[in-house]
Amino acid sequence: MSIAIVVHGGAWDIPPALHADHELGCRAAAQAGWQVLSHGGTALDAVEAAVRVMEDDPVFDAGRGSHLNADGAVELDAGIMDGQTLMAGAVAAVKRVANPISLARRVLHDSPHVFLVGAGAERFAIEAGLPLCDPHALVIEREQMLWEARRNATGKEQLAFGKAGTVGAVALDAAGNLAVGNSTGGTFFKHPGRVGDTPIIGCGLYADNTLGAAACTGWGEQIMKTVLAKATVDQIALLGNAATAANVAIAYFRHRIGGLGGVICISPEGQIGLAHSTPYMAYAYRTVTDDDILSGLQVKDG
Ligand code: GLY
């Protein structure tokens, strides 16, 4: 039986000085996921383990080190989905959860709901026995300085879309089950309460054992309007090839809406796909045909 893991560490114009850190972070995440899969663990455990590694790594816009919103606070979103049962869990706009992917996992298993937000999601974390953290523990100096600079900027300097190092993982386990997980701090200087694609089932993530699994990264407003994760898995089912499906989905995303972002995916057979419309996408993966984790910054061609 095939096993596979693919992770992404964001698709954007990643400056060369940050390439090594992004690659290393993705590698460590894929390694954590592979450890789970190669010891007979589930795809759900693998994607949670991989995403947690990147949430803990301040290089990425997820967990500690995330972008600050317009009020200068971290607000986190995450989602997870089980391709066997279609069970899903998601949280958004949480401020006191260091690993929102694990809270989303608790929503999946321990709640009759799919999506919890804000104070209600944090109350559920306490009920589920997950620790809450000091919100200031999620803020790092780099992001505090960016926020101060943005707050003092005016007019055209106030960019709506900048760095977007959302993280995510898709996995296939030895039992043939697919899973996907995604986590983000959202866009820089976002309006408090803004939620992007990352935790939204069908938009930022989707997994169905009969179709495939996909995780998206990039400009959430555009990804939501094109329901990009579901569009990608539908292409896997239609075309029977994950690599082509990722390319077709991103071509549609780019041509239909000028989309900036990327997608990673796995077919039910364990083929993988990666595509993006941005200059770079940070990634790492391993399948049964690979001797080690393969990682890098994929460069857009053409
Ligand atoms: N893709 C991350 C976001 O827009 O929030």
> 182 in ligand 1 pocket by Cβ < 6 Å?
no
Question: Residue 160: which pLDDT band, with cuts at 50, 70 and 90?
Answer: very low
Please state the atom number of ligand 1 nearest to the C-alpha of residue 77. 5
CA–centroid distance, residue 289 to ligand 1 (Å)? 32
- 196 DSSP assignment: -
How far is the first Cα of the chain from the last one, in angstroms, to the nearest whole number? Answer: 36
pLDDT at 164 over 80: no
CA–centroid distance, residue 185 to ligand 1 (Å)? 8
Q: Which residue has the tokens 């919890």?
A: 116
Residue 302's pLDDT is 54
Question: Residue 300: which pLDDT band, with cuts at 50, 70 and 90?
Answer: confident
Mean pLDDT within 260-264: 96
Q: pTM for this one?
A: 0.96
> 278 in ligand 1 pocket by Cβ < 6 Å?
no
44-72: pLDDT as tens digits? 999 999 999 999 999 999 999 999 999 99
One-letter amino acid identity for 86? L
In the predicted model, what is the mean pLDDT of the chain? 95
Which residue CA neighbors atom 4 of ligand 1 most closely? Answer: 220
pLDDT at 161 over 50: no
> 226 in ligand 1 pocket by Cβ < 6 Å?
no
Pocket test for ligand 1, best of 55, 60, 223, 257 (most atoms within 8 A of CB): 223
Mean pLDDT within 284-299: 95
Question: Residue 214: which pLDDT band, with cuts at 50, 70 and 90?
Answer: very high
Q: Which residue has the tokens 């407003």?
A: 221
Percent share of the chain, pLDDT over 90: 92
> 75 in ligand 1 pocket by Cβ < 6 Å?
no
Which residue CA neighbors atom 5 of ligand 1 most closely? Answer: 186
The set of long-range contacts for 223-228, using a CB threshold of 8 Å and a minimum separation of 24, is 223/196, 223/197, 223/253, 223/259, 223/261, 224/196, 224/197, 224/200, 225/257, 226/252, 226/253, 226/256, 226/257, 226/259, 227/202, 227/203, 228/197, 228/203, 228/204, 228/253, 228/259, 228/261, 228/263
